[in-house]
């Protein structure tokens, strides 16, 4: 199980357009059938190419483009799939329906697909969006009817089309079933959801992070989840456990899962060896940081592919956004790049901002930043339209007092 996604107020996004690209290890799904026992993918993942690398990135804190900065010494991309972690299932208590929500960081990645998504796809990496609960009672396991599941599947399909994504990943965590008067997990919900989504997205990828109530509710009325999804992988980092998803072949399963920032390289290498020896087709990585970790990843790639990992960083352009600094003259600790949006303290903290801490700021040309002394945009305010090297020069002084921000 991964670290909990930061649960901050989220914004509803509209739906528009975009496109996708190809990949290196034949990840495109074959036409879907209703056969409940035979895998849909003849991927032949085991062999010269080896198991596919699937990597979750916490976009609250890290740049998903870093997935594309790792190759094997042969020049092949290390990662085949990059997963944006994560969008949320929220619950509208007025309409009593599940809604798809994105926080500001996910919004930034999706709405700037040409910057964050398409460069990965151009390298042959598939980009998927992970979906999980948000403590509001709504999740993939408690849709009250087939129609409700179909409605939510349509929202997911719209998002894939709008942002040019390659598919959807399901994660049954943090739903807090029962909150807001919602129902408990039922046997039909997840099957209805993946069935509807497969009908809407016959050529896109669908995966299941094997965890939560959905993991024991994989069949209903003779239809299995495994006949509708393309992949499933173990959800417990640092362990080896084969997901029990009838209908998926070994080439579509990932029993090994690691947290790059906490699983030891020795354990990661051992799990890679087991994956190859037992002929499974997926190796799951989580929590790729912005820093260079090619030495750690080499411990895995040596076992999976018999070759080292190379870091090609430095080619990724810096993210566009506002950066706050701890000290005057842009010194001390710096936040991550913050995109346009309105940010309470809790939202700013996801970018490394600390309350009553900032002393200078850099602002992209043409942007406007309004800083507030109090949380939720209260108290004294300061409007800035260019880099400001020393907050003590503002009146009243803004040094070490900024708590919330609006960026336009």
Q: What is the pLDDT of residues 131-177, one digit of tens each?
A: 999 999 999 999 999 999 999 999 999 999 999 999 999 999 999 99
The arithmetic mean of pLDDT across residues 258-271, rounded, is 97
Separation CA 56–CA 129 (nearest Å): 9
pLDDT tier for residue 314 given thresholds of 50, 70 and 90:
low
* Domains defined for the chain, CATH in brackets: 52-311 (3.20.20.80), 323-407 (2.60.20.10)
- Give the confidence band of 112 by pLDDT, cuts at 50, 70, 90: confident
Average pLDDT, the chain: 87
Which one is catalytic: 58, 63, 172, 173? 173
Q: What percent of the chain has pLDDT over 90?
A: 77
Q: How confident is the model at residue 352 (pLDDT cuts 50, 70, 90)?
A: confident
Q: Does the pLDDT of residue 313 top 90, yes or no?
A: no
Residue 48 has pLDDT above 70, yes or no: no
* Residue 127 confidence (pLDDT) above 60: yes
Residue 47: pLDDT band (50, 70, 90) is very low
Interval 392-401 mean pLDDT? 96
Residue 39 pLDDT > 60, yes or no? Answer: no
pLDDT reading at 42 higher than 50: no
pLDDT digits (tens, 9 = 90+) for 98-111: 999 998 889 889 98
| pLDDT at residue 101 in the model | 95
The residue ranking higher by pLDDT, 333 or 233, is: 233
State the average pLDDT over residues 246-266.
96
Higher pLDDT, 60 or 217: 217
Q: What percent of the chain has pLDDT over 70?
A: 87
Q: What is the 3-state secondary structure (H, E, C) of the chain?
A: CCCCCCCCCCECCCCCCCCCCCCCCCCCCCCCCCCCCCCCCCCCCCCCCCCEEEEEEECCCCCHHHHHHEEECCCCECCCEEEEEEEEEEEECCCCEEEEEECHHHHHHHHCHHHHCHHHHHCCCEEEEEEEECCCCCCCCCCCCHHHHHHHHHHHHHHHHHHCCCEEEEECCCCCCCHHHCCCCCCCHHHHHHHHHHHHCCCCEEEEEECCHHHHCCEECCEEHHHCCCEEEECCCCEECCCCCCCCCHHHEECEEEECCCCCHHHHHHHHHHHHHCCCCEEEEECCCCCCCHHHHHHHHHHHHCCCEEECCCCCCCCCCEEEEEEHHHEEEECCCECCEEECHHHHHCCCCCCCCCCEEECCCCCCEEEEEECCCEEEEEEECCCECCHHHCCCCCCCCCCEEEEC
User: Tens digit of pLDDT for each residue in 66-87?
Assistant: 999 999 998 899 999 999 999 9
Confidence class of residue 286 from pLDDT cuts 50, 70 and 90?
Answer: very high
| Environment class of 53 (CB within 10 Å of its CB; exposed 0-12, middle 13-18, buried 19+) | buried
Give mean pLDDT, residues 53-71: 93
Q: What's the average model confidence in pLDDT over 236-251?
A: 96
Task: Decide if 58 is catalytic.
Answer: no
Contact 357, 400 (CB under 8 A): yes
Q: Which of 27-41, 48-62, 257-271, 332-346 has the lowest mean pLDDT?
A: 27-41
């Amino acid at each position: 199980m991964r670290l909990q996604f930061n649960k901050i107020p989220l914004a509803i996004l509209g739906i528009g357009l975009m496109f996708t690209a190809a990949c290196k290890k034949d990840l495109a799904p074959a036409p879907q059938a209703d056969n409940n026992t035979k895998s849909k993918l003849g991927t032949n993942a085991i062999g010269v190419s080896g198991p596919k690398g699937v990597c979750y990135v916490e976009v609250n804190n890290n740049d998903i483009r870093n997935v594309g900065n790792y190759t094997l010494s042969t020049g092949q991309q290390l990662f085949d799939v990059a997963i944006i972690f994560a969008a949320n299932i929220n619950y509208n208590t007025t309409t009593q329906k599940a809604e798809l929500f994105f926080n500001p960081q996910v919004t930034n990645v999706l709405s700037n697909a040409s910057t964050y998504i398409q460069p990965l796809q151009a390298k042959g990496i598939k980009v998927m969006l992970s979906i999980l609960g948000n403590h509001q009672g709504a999740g993939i396991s408690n849709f009250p009817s087939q129609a409700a599941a179909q409605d939510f599947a349509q929202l997911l399909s719209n998002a894939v089309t709008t942002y040019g994504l390659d598919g959807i990943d399901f994660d049954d965590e943090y739903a807090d079933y029962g909150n807001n008067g919602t129902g408990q997990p039922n046997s039909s919900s997840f099957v209805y959801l993946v069935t509807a989504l497969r009908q809407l997205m016959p050529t896109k990828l669908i995966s299941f992070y094997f965890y939560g109530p959905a993991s024991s509710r994989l069949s209903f009325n003779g239809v299995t989840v495994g006949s509708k999804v393309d992949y499933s992988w173990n959800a417990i980092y640092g362990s080896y456990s084969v997901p029990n998803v009838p209908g998926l072949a070994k080439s579509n399963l990932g029993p090994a899962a690691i947290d790059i920032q906490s699983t030891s390289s020795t354990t990661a290498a051992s799990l890679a060896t087991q994956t190859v020896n037992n002929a499974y087709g997926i190796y799951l990585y989580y929590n790729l940081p912005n820093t260079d970790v090619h030495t750690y990843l080499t411990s895995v790639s040596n076992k999976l592919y018999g070759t080292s990992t190379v870091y090609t960083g430095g080619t990724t352009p810096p993210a566009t956004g506002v950066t706050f600094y701890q000290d005057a003259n842009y010194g001390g600790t710096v936040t991550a790049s913050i995109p346009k949006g309105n940010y309470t303290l809790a939202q700013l903290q996801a970018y490394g901002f600390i309350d009553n801490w900032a002393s200078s700021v850099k602002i992209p040309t043409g942007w406007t930043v309004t800083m507030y002394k109090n949380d939720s945009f209260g108290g004294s305010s300061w409007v800035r339209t260019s880099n400001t090297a020393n907050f003590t020069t503002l009146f009243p002084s803004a040094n070490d007092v900024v708590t919330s921000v609006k960026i336009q």
